[in-house]
Amino acid sequence: MAEAVIKRGVKDERWQVIEILYGTAALADLPPVKLIAAELDIPERTASEWIQNARAAGWLTGLTSNIGRPAYG
């Protein structure tokens, strides 16, 4: 499945996998970017971009993670 996800132009399947992996990371208190990058064997920068794009496409609704974000205060 990872091969299909990293192909160019495969958006819905990609966002679905990103949503599953992001949710898994959030439940396990793991950094989503690092988990997605490791699972799909892609750079962290690409994983971060895909998370942003998935959110913009209406995926990841209600999913958040504070892991890996800087503390404010």
H-assigned helices in 28-71: 32-40, 44-56
- Rounded CA separation 31/15 (Å): 17
pLDDT at residue 61, as a whole number:
85
Q: pLDDT tens digit string along 4-56?
A: 677 776 688 899 999 999 999 999 989 999 999 999 999 999 999 999 999 99
pLDDT for residue 7:
74
Residues 32 and 67: their CA atoms lie apart, in Å, by: 8
| DSSP at 10 | -
pLDDT at 68 exceeding the cut of 60: no
Q: Find where tokens 């997605």 sit.
A: 36
Spatial separation of the C-alpha atoms in residues 46 and 28, rounded to whole Å: 21
C-alpha neighbours within 13 Å on the C-beta side of residue 69: 11
Q: Residue 5: its pLDDT value, please?
A: 73
